[in-house]
Amino acid sequence: MRPNATLWIAPPAPLSADVDCLRWQAYLALRGVPVAVRTVIDPAGALDARLPNLHADDALLPAQRIPQWADTHAPPEPGYLDPAARDESRAWTALLERTVHAALLAATPAPSLLSPPAPLRALLTPPPPPLTGIASLCPPLGARIPYDTIHARYCDAIAALSDRLATDKWFLGSPEPTPLDALVFAYLHSIIVSKNSALRTQVTRRVNLVAWEWRVREQVCAAFK
Amino acid sequence: MSASEISLHVWPSQWGLSSLEPTCLAAVMYLQQVMPGKFSVVECNDPDFSPTGHLPYLVHEHHTVTSLGSIIKYITGLKATGPTRSSSNLDSSLSGTEKAQSIAWCAHVESNLGDIVSYALYSNQDNWAELMHPALASLYPIPQRYYIPGRIREMYRPRLESAGLWDLPIKEEEKKPFKIDKSWQKRQNTKLFQETFGRERVLEKARISLEIYARLLDEHDFIYRDRPTTLDIVLAAHILLLLKPEYPEPSIQNLIKHTHPALASHARRVFEHISSCPESQLRISSTPKFVWSSLIPWPSTAWKDGLSEEDIHFRRMRWGFYGLTLGSMAVYLAVSFQNVSRHLWK
């Protein structure tokens, strides 16, 4: 089917290196909505300076409006198994978008020693104290990022993900792929291709996660050939 | 293991609760449940004492463990040598799937409900000015009470801004007397509109999360079994911090009490279940309110407490090597400079 929309993503093609872009690529691929991809867009030129954006029907849509657009071009989402599974999907989404995402950001080299990536500070609970200390007379500078704690929580999250997936075809036992599957795929793929071996090892030692990511990757890549 | 060996360092108690911070409160409640009377609580007003700069942290013999998850794992791994009230692992009766779900739910509670608690304590201007700021200021002597509360509040700003829950008031402008300022009323109306709209946005976020937890609890006494698990304790700690304080702006508190009384009952039930054991009386001590070294950024002293003699000796030898290297370099440069200058002035 000829794609009638273009998804602006961060490079490379066919699978973006940015987790948010890859998530929406996977979402559209798993829903069977054909779109082309474009990787030469500077994020500064996107809506809210954030990729991905969807260029469709002579309009440019931000990421949060992609499901609404997809509903008009594809059969309705089959949804989760039951309302409890839908609620549970929110818990897993929080685990991935906070705990796992914090570990991915922590593994990225900071632009300077005194200023860790701003998105990382927004993900940590409790928030990191300044490098100069809370009680010192020095003005607050930088942030003390607890890398060991972030990594320990990441290990627990990946173990929980593996236990929950077990041998199911789709997460939470859904009969068809759901938005949660797209999100899980985006994070697993980003971790597997990451240069950080400590992150990668936690996923690669779990056979079910590797096999699941491999299977879903084939499906997503096929959609963007 | 004797009670004097395990000490849990947390933010001080406030409003009838063991700590004013949700993860610290959850840590105290967890230890009260699994090992009542076998640990002591150290109220700490300076998280710089912690190896990671965060509270809570636990000290046991030569081990220092930070963060709630690591503390729970450490306690679970300890072997009880004396009679305990219950197993040291509250989640031992859960299946593998339930344990995995519990981890995900704890992350959801700490992020979503944690943001609501942080908004109520630090972002809402009325609650900050009349409740949290005085509570924090009372923990510190002069001059720290004048700058530490503001710094703590600033720590929460990035997280609350990204969640859309940062609520600073519009700068008040003085109404000048004897001057007709037609736009003043318009600015006041705008301010009122923005405050109301902001409050509704926060209430909507809180409502969504609370409905999910109410469905998860599903009219049962506890979430999974007939006694509290880790998830019950983490959820109850956050709900108690929204219920117990007397908030000047109580909209979130009223939302829980009137719309989700089951969650309020659950939190009180967990609290009473933990407090019902006669051994659950806490032994509380405090770190010194003021230490001169805290005014200067310095590595945490907690690290030194955890080091063995061999580690201290190794550290001294390493610093000695650095000193010797720098001293030799300085002597070499001095001699070289002397030779060069003698040669030049010949």
Per residue in B88-112, pLDDT tens? 688 888 999 999 999 999 999 999 9
Report helix angle B261-275 to B182-217, nearest 10. 60
| Burial (0-12, 13-18, 19+ Cβ within 10 Å), B196 | exposed
Strand duo B40-43 + B57-60: pairing? unpaired
* Inter-chain touch A125–B47, beta carbons under 8 Å: no
Instruction: Kindly state whether B99 is in contact with chain A, defined as any CB-CB distance less than 8 angstroms.
Output: yes
* Inter-chain touch B104–A164, beta carbons under 8 Å: yes
User: How many residue pairs bridge chain A and chain B with CB atoms within 8 Å of each other?
Assistant: 134
pLDDT of B287 > 70? The answer is: no
Choose, out of A163, A168, A209, the residue to mutate when testing the contact with B (most B CBs < 10 Å): A163
Residue A94 has its nearest CB partner, among B107, B216, B297, at B107
Strand duo B6-10 + B283-286: pairing? unpaired
Rounded Cα gap, residues B54 and B40, in angstroms: 18
CB within 8 A of B259, min separation 6: which ones?
B207, B210
The answer to whether B18 touches B28, Cβ cutoff 8 Å, is yes
Tokens for A27?
């979402």
Rounded Cα gap, residues A53 and A30, in angstroms: 18
The answer to whether A56 touches A69, Cβ cutoff 8 Å, is yes
Q: Which residue type is seen at A90?
A: R
Higher pLDDT, residue B278 or A191: A191
Q: What pLDDT is recorded for position A78? A: 78
Instruction: Kindly state whether A48 is in contact with chain B, defined as any CB-CB distance less than 8 angstroms.
Output: no
Instruction: Kindly state whether B149 is in contact with chain A, defined as any CB-CB distance less than 8 angstroms.
Output: no
The answer to whether B222 touches B231, Cβ cutoff 8 Å, is no
Instruction: Kindly state whether B111 is in contact with chain A, defined as any CB-CB distance less than 8 angstroms.
Output: yes
| Chain A partners within 8 Å of B47 (Cβ) | 129, 134
Q: What pLDDT is recorded for position B177? A: 57
Name the nearest CA neighbour of A63 among A81, A80, A49, A78: A49
* Inter-chain touch A135–B144, beta carbons under 8 Å: yes
Q: What pLDDT is recorded for position B199? A: 82
Q: Please, what's the b/e burial string for A97-124 (b: 16 or more CB within 10 A of its CB; e: otherwise)?
A: bbbbbbbbbbbeeeeeeeebbeebbbbb
Q: What percent of chain A has pLDDT over 90?
A: 60
Instruction: Please state the rounded mean pLDDT for residues A183-208.
Output: 95
State which of A43-52, A212-221, B196-205 shows the largest mean pLDDT.
Answer: A212-221
Q: Kindly identify which residue of chain A lies nearest to residue B212, measuring between CA atoms.
A: A87
Q: What band does B306 get if pLDDT is binned at 50, 70 and 90?
A: very low
Q: What is the torsion angle, in degrees rounded to the nearest 10, for the CA atoms of residue A175, residue A179, residue A184 and residue A190? A: 130
Residue B295 has its nearest CB partner, among A137, A156, A166, at A137
**Residue B10 three-state SS:** strand
Cα B160 to chain centroid distance, Å, stands at: 15
**Kindly report the CA angle at B191 between B185 and B195, in degrees rounded to 5?**
150
Q: What pLDDT is recorded for position A2? A: 59
Rounded Cα gap, residues B113 and B118, in angstroms: 9
Q: What is the pLDDT of residues A103-161, one digit of tens each?
A: 999 988 766 655 656 688 888 988 999 888 888 888 888 888 899 999 999 999 999 99
Which A residues 56-85 touch B at CB under 8 Å? 83-84
Instruction: Kindly state whether B74 is in contact with chain A, defined as any CB-CB distance less than 8 angstroms.
Output: no
pLDDT of A189 > 90? The answer is: yes
Instruction: Kindly state whether A133 is in contact with chain B, defined as any CB-CB distance less than 8 angstroms.
Output: yes
The answer to whether A179 touches A27, Cβ cutoff 8 Å, is yes
Q: Which residue type is seen at B88?
A: S
Strand duo A53-56 + B40-43: pairing? unpaired
The answer to whether B9 touches B58, Cβ cutoff 8 Å, is yes
- Tokens 């006041």 locate to B188
Residue A127 has its nearest CB partner, among B70, B103, B158, at B158
Q: What pLDDT is recorded for position B77? A: 86
Instruction: Kindly state whether B293 is in contact with chain A, defined as any CB-CB distance less than 8 angstroms.
Output: no
Q: Kindly identify which residue of chain B lies nearest to residue A161, measuring between CA atoms.
A: B100
Residue A156 has its nearest CB partner, among B23, B52, B103, at B103
| Chain B partners within 8 Å of A94 (Cβ) | 104, 107-108, 111-112
Handedness of CA B232, B101, A30, A119 (dihedral sign): positive
**Residue B81 three-state SS:** coil
Tokens for B113?
């409900």
Q: Report the range of poorest mean pLDDT among A104-113, B152-161, B233-242, B249-258.
A: A104-113
| Burial (0-12, 13-18, 19+ Cβ within 10 Å), B329 | exposed
Instruction: Kindly state whether B19 is in contact with chain A, defined as any CB-CB distance less than 8 angstroms.
Output: no
Higher pLDDT, residue A142 or B9: B9
Rounded Cα gap, residues A150 and A104, in angstroms: 10
- Tokens 């972030």 locate to A150
Instruction: Kindly state whether B76 is in contact with chain A, defined as any CB-CB distance less than 8 angstroms.
Output: no
Instruction: Please state the rounded mean pLDDT for residues B177-189.
Output: 63
Instruction: Kindly state whether B54 is in contact with chain A, defined as any CB-CB distance less than 8 angstroms.
Output: yes
pLDDT of B339 > 90? The answer is: no
Q: What pLDDT is recorded for position B155? A: 92
Tell me how close the Cα of A32 comes to any Cα of chain B, in angstroms.
29
Strand duo A59-62 + B40-43: pairing? unpaired
Cα A6 to chain centroid distance, Å, stands at: 20
Tokens for B6?
């395990």
pLDDT of B52 > 90? The answer is: no
Higher pLDDT, residue B284 or B21: B21
- In this prediction the ipTM stands at 0.93
Mean pLDDT score across all residues of chain B: 84
Q: Kindly identify which residue of chain B lies nearest to residue A100, measuring between CA atoms.
A: B107
Instruction: Please state the rounded mean pLDDT for residues A182-193.
Output: 96
**DSSP run (H or E) holding B187:** helix B182-217
Q: What pLDDT is recorded for position B285? A: 72
Q: What band does B324 get if pLDDT is binned at 50, 70 and 90?
A: very high
Instruction: Kindly state whether B80 is in contact with chain A, defined as any CB-CB distance less than 8 angstroms.
Output: no
